[in-house]
Structure 1
């Protein structure tokens, strides 16, 4: 039996498409791969994004920038010194992109301008830290990616 050019090209396309479909189906059915969204309420967070942009702008306008430093005791957040620490409220969210079970939130309660997140809560690797805080009815936001 003789195969001409047209038949050979059609057979090559069918073989290639079958090969690709096999791997697509194999990866979709594999239990080792995690196909979840990055966060559970991704679409809700997307709608809130403009508020985050406004909070970041107000932080830069009022010079309310935070400093995040690593130390032997853990992660230290330094709030602006000219703000009254008794009027600062909010939350600190630590997000681990590789494992959602390590994510946690902490309320902000300050006695001085420093907030310490203990070293025993932080596993080595990449963390995304988000600090949402209020001072005198102004909302501020600080986001940072760090490797611990």
Structure 2
């Protein structure tokens, strides 16, 4: 039997559609491929996320930005001078993308406008730093990535 071009194209299209249908059925019926993008309590999490957006905007509205600087003693986090150091409360979270065991959090309690993260706590590499603080009832969120 001789197959011409038209027959070959039709057979190819039918095989391709069968191949695609196999994957669609497999992905929709197999529980191991079930990945929901929406979490439970979606709206409550959305409200918290909106608070983080507002805190980031509050931080952007400050006259000075938070400065993070590497020194011989460690990592110095300098808060904006318009925030009175003794009234600033919050936390600094240092996240190490390559190793979860190195992540840690420091509570903010300032006497001057600097916070020192000791050099012994930090290993060389990339760190994501998140500073969440509150001053006079207003929340601020600063995020920065550094290579130490």
User: Is TM (by shorter chain) over 0.5?
Assistant: yes
Note closer, same or farther for the CA distance 1:140–1:64 as it changes in structure 2 (3 Å cut).
farther
**In structure 1, C-alpha distance between the alignment counterparts of 2:132 and 2:140, rounded to whole Å:** 6
Instruction: Specify the SS of the correspondent of 1:48.
Output: helix
What is the deviation of 1:84? 1.3
Unaligned runs of 5+ in 1: 1-42
**In structure 1, C-alpha distance between the alignment counterparts of 2:128 and 2:95, rounded to whole Å:** 5
Per the alignment, residue 48 of structure 1 pairs with 48
Return the index of the structure with the highest Cα Rg. Answer: 2
Normalising by the residue count of structure 1, what TM-score does the alignment of the two structures yield?
0.68
- Map of 1:74-89 to 2, 5 A cutoff? 74-89=74-89
Unaligned runs of 5+ in 2: 1-41
1:27-62 Cα shifts (integer Å, max 9, x gaps):
xxxxxxxxxxxxxxxx89776322211101011113
Contact 2:92–2:105, Cα closer than 8 Å, also in 1: yes
Contact 2:86–2:110, Cα closer than 8 Å, also in 1: yes
**In structure 1, C-alpha distance between the alignment counterparts of 2:98 and 2:45, rounded to whole Å:** 19
What is the deviation of 1:63? 2.7
Number of paired residues?
131
Per the alignment, residue 135 of structure 2 pairs with 135
In the TM superposition, structure 1's runs of 4+ consecutive aligned residues that sit over 4 Å from their partners are: 43-47
**In structure 1, C-alpha distance between the alignment counterparts of 2:79 and 2:51, rounded to whole Å:** 21
1:60-112 Cα shifts (integer Å, max 9, x gaps):
11335200000110000001123211110000000000110000000001110
Q: CA RMSD in A?
A: 3.5
Deviates more, 1:109-118 or 1:59-68: 59-68
Deviates more, 1:97-106 or 1:59-68: 59-68
